[in-house]
Structures are given as structure tokens and as C-alpha cells.
Amino acid sequence: MEGMAGAVRDLATLSTRLFLHLGSEKTNMAISPLSFHSVLVLLAASATGHTFAQIVSFLGSSSDAAHASLASQVASGIFAGDNGGEPYIRCALGVWVDSSFPLRHDFAKKVTSQYKAGVRAMPFQDKADEARAEINRWFEDKTDGFIRELIPQGQLDNDTIIVIGNALYLRGTWLDPFDRDDTMDGNFFLPDSDKSSCAPVRVPFMTSKNRQLISCHPGFKVLQLPYEGGGDHKFSMHIYLPDERDGLQPLVHELSSDMAGFLDSCVPAEPVQVGDFRIPRFKVSLKIEASKLLKDLGLERPFQFSYDFAGMIDCPKSLAVANVLHECIVEVNEDGTIAAASTEADMIMGFSIEGEEHVEVVDFVTDHPFLFLVKEDKTGLVLFAGQVVNPLL
């Protein structure tokens, strides 16, 4: 289990690396590091040589076996609790391969038994757009309709040989829901709200007088909002609120210096009495083609044609990842959270060119840009992450 714990810490670090390259203090954002992780682990499962080494290095300092174990346990539903329990979590993996090129036996066995992935033959060479529509329907179904048309028209063609996808979905009810009758509009200060040309926006704020899990740190506070659920694995949303209205980017940079350490040390220890307590309703999303992002972060080899993926599929030509698509949506209201993410990597054939002071009463007024994470409490596993700079967008 220690090896898997290291993989969880690596995933937390990957979260901030993605944030730093994607983030802007003026942009709402939501990502699922866990969804990225699942697809990258499946790519590593078939890779050899420099490509394998670079994927493993990109995932973090833990071994490939640790990351494979984490992805396998997530795919097996170990973090989802009992079926029908709270929160409801679904993690699904899919592999679609051109019908002319069967998967290698060892790879097919690994993805179906270890990662519980469904494998389907597709007519990419003859009917690429029909195949695209079917794969998109799979993403839509696995995310309860939240992720639609992930793969745009024209992305898959007769050079497409395999598509690897992950869909992650969470529906959680707050352990202590907010009363809708108490929700009231208030000012939310945008990043440029100090300028006369940019007035605050009016947004609905949820509130409560109940004791809350809050910890106070130099420059920021952390609120933990647990979801209903029993058993070994419990989940919460953690909101990181900078003290200053323009403090989001400095906070992200501070967290990035030791994300895993911050996740451990910033967990609120006990409920405190609240004074002014307000959280905005929000819905944030992001859809990106992430190839350049991953390359900028150092993951270049999978996008270069080579025979390092020969263990994946029976194909005489070299292979390379052509595109990596990621879409994530997180919606928060008085009842709880609905979050969904999908990640897709399609490959083409080609030619190779080789501890805090106790505070009696704490205010927590989320009226300016903030960061949030949805985590599994015991391990610290990060399922979703995002930032809210304008709840109305």
C-alpha cells in the first residue's frame, strides 16, 4: 500500500503542474487529474523503451507498478464504496481498436482483467465518423449526459488505429446540505474588481450557521465539505480561499511547491463555530486538446512515431499518439456536487523517425476567486480540481 500511497502523492503533484500550465487568474477551470492518470497508465501498459520510461517519469517518482496498482484499484471501484451508496462514483475505461488490427493478446488481457476496460473493434478505416459517434455516445452514457461530443468531427480518420478513453463521474450529497431558503445574492469580486471599470458581480451565496471544518493558515483558509457516505472511503470537497482578493495565483504557486504536503497538513482537524459563512453556487468546465500541454510538461515521446507501442497492437507500422482530449465539468449547489470528466487519446499509424491555533469563531466568505479539490479523505486521492474566478460564467 505504501507504493500506491506514493502514486497518490504523485497525482496531487500532477494536479498543480497541470494547474500552473493551464491556469489564469481570470479563467474558470476544472480538470480531473485522475482521468488523465488512467489514460496515461493504459498507454504505459503497452509501451517499451524511451516512451515507457518517459510516461513513468512524467507520472511521478513512484514506480510504474505503483501507478498501475492505483489505476487498477480505481477502475475496480475500490474507492467508490458499495453500489448504490454515497457518493455515487463511476470510473470507466474503454479501448476501441480498428477491426483490421487486433490487440496483442497480453495487452488485451491486461486492459480487460487489470483495468476492467471494455474493448471494441471499430471501422476506423471505412467509417471513421460512425465510429466517432459511437465512442462519443459511450462517453455521454458513462457521464450521465454531462460530457457530449468529446471527439469533434474530423478528428478520427482512416489513419486512426486505436482510441483509449476514461470517463469519471461523481454525484455526491453534502453530509450537511445547505437550506435553499437561506441562499441570498451577494457581491463576488472578480480579479480586477479593484479597478473602477470592473464592478463585482451578483451571485447566489449558500450559507449556514452550523459548525464547519475550517483551518486557518498564513495567507489562506481551507474549508472541508464532506459528502454523505460510510464505509472505508469517504469523500469531501476542499475549498482553498486566499485572504486577498487577488491571491489565487500566489496560492496556486505556493501549493505547487509541495502539493502532497499541503494536502496532508491543511486538512481541517475539527469543526469550528462560523461567523459570516458564504459559498457561491457554481458550475465550471474546461475542454482542451491537451497534446501541447503534455509536451510542454515534458511528455513528448508518445507523440513521436516509434515502435515502442508494438506491444499494444498487431500492426507493422510505427504508432504515435495524435491527440489527447480532456473535458471536465463540476457543478455545486445546496444539495451537493455533480462532476464528470472524460479523457481520450487516439493513436495513428505512421513511419518511424526514431497544525493550527484554535479559533473560536471563523469567517469564511468565498466572495473572490478560489481553488477547490474533490478528494478521497483517507488517501488524499484527487478526483477533480478547479478554480472559480466568476461563478456566473
Do 266 and 297 fall within a single domain?
Answer: no
Mean pLDDT of the chain: 91
Q: Which residues, listed in sequence order, are joined to residue 96 by a DSSP beta bridge?
A: 120, 163
Question: C-alpha cell of 296?
Answer: 510542454
- Please report, for the domain that includes residue 143, its CATH number: 3.30.497.10
In a domain, 393, yes or no: no
Do 191 and 165 fall within a single domain?
Answer: no
In a domain, 111, yes or no: yes
* Nearest-10 Cα torsion for 35, 39, 44, 50: -90
Please write the tens of the pLDDT for every residue from 217-271: 999 999 999 999 867 788 999 999 999 998 998 998 888 888 777 777 888 989 9
In a domain, 340, yes or no: yes
Name the CA radius of gyration of the chain, rounded. 22
Confidence at 359, pLDDT banded by 50, 70, 90: very low
Tell me the C-alpha distance between 39 and 22, whole Å. Answer: 19
Q: Which residue has the higher pLDDT, 356 or 137?
A: 137
Domain span holding position 383: 180-280+356-388
Question: What contacts 231, CB < 8 A, 6 or more positions away?
Answer: 81, 82, 85
Do 274 and 305 fall within a single domain?
Answer: no
pLDDT of residue 26: 77
Buried-exposed string 315-338: b where 16+ CB fall within 10 A, e elsewhere: bebbbbbbbbbbbbbbbbbbebbb
Domain count of the fold of the chain: 2
Do 165 and 209 fall within a single domain?
Answer: no
Lowest mean pLDDT among 6-10, 21-25, 105-109: 21-25
Mean pLDDT throughout 382-392? 95
Please write the tens of the pLDDT for every residue from 54-105: 999 999 999 999 999 999 999 988 776 544 578 999 999 999 999 999 999 9
H or E segment at 137? helix 128-142
Do 98 and 133 fall within a single domain?
Answer: yes
pLDDT of residue 82: 45
In a domain, 140, yes or no: yes
Mean pLDDT throughout 334-350? 94
- Please report, for the domain that includes residue 235, its CATH number: 2.30.39.10
Strands 160-173 and 212-217: unpaired
Closest CA to 256 of 29, 23, 68: 23
Do 54 and 113 fall within a single domain?
Answer: yes
Do 157 and 185 fall within a single domain?
Answer: no
Do 268 and 322 fall within a single domain?
Answer: no
Residue 358 has pLDDT above 60, yes or no: no
pLDDT of residue 1: 53
Buried-exposed string 145-165: b where 16+ CB fall within 10 A, e elsewhere: ebbeebbeeebbeebbbbbbb
Do 136 and 211 fall within a single domain?
Answer: no
Tell me the C-alpha distance between 201 and 186, whole Å. Answer: 8
pLDDT of residue 269: 86
Do 142 and 225 fall within a single domain?
Answer: no
Q: How many Cα atoms occupy the beta-carbon half-sphere of 54 within 13 Å?
A: 14
Do 236 and 343 fall within a single domain?
Answer: no
In a domain, 290, yes or no: yes
Do 44 and 169 fall within a single domain?
Answer: yes
